[in-house]
Amino acid sequence: MEDGPDDNPPALVDESFSGCQYGYMSTKQHPPVRFTRAAAEAASAHPQGVSRTEGWYLVGTAALFGACHALLYQTHGMAWGGIIRFAALFLTIAGVTWLLRATHAHRQVHPRGHRAAMVAALSWMLAVVLVAGWAWIVPAAGHDVGWAWTSLVALTGVLPLALVGLRLVRAFR
């Protein structure tokens, strides 16, 4: 008896190349490819390739902003306050430019949630500057708040940014 046309259909695709059999894709699991592993690694809380140097530059940026904020809040009522504020702002702009260029040169992989943490930290810093600036820089007569309080407020404003940088340092593997 001869085989009929429906008894043994020919393979439409060479089965040695893939998991296809009789023209249908196989459902068997294949080992993950390089890009799948990289995507899974990047989505983890502590991915490989986080730059510790970028984290330290971010902490330095926070420290520079904190020093500038403290000087701006404290020098408002001083006789030479305008010149001191000008110098502080000039040095802050130059320092932040250098730090951001150095940070960009060391930028690598970021942990999950890094962008949201940066947005939250920068938003918090902006809110603190708006409130403290309104209270301590806008009044023409100055203020009688001591340096300890203004420094504490400046530190409170930049602390989240420093914590984001320290998170990168900690995530380094």
Tens digits of residue pLDDT in 143-157:
777 788 889 999 999
Least confident of 3-7, 125-129, 142-146, 165-169: 3-7
pTM for this prediction: 0.66
DSSP string, 118-135: HHHHHHHHHHHHHHHHHH
What does the pLDDT look like over 50-109, one tens digit per residue?
Answer: 778 888 999 999 999 999 999 888 887 778 888 998 999 999 999 999 998 998 888 877
The mean pLDDT of 121-129, rounded to a whole number, is 94
pLDDT digits (tens, 9 = 90+) for 23-33: 555 555 655 55
- Please provide the DSSP assignment of 11-45 as one string: PSS-TTTSS-BTTB---PPPPP-HHHHHHHHHTSS
137 vs 144: CA distance, rounded Å: 12
Q: Are 45 and 167 contacting, i.e. CB atoms less than 8 angstroms apart? A: no
Band of pLDDT at residue 6, cut at 50, 70 and 90: low
Q: Is 156 exposed, middle or buried (0-12, 13-18, 19+ CB in 10 A)?
A: middle
Strand partners, 50: 109
Rounded CA separation 76/106 (Å)? 37
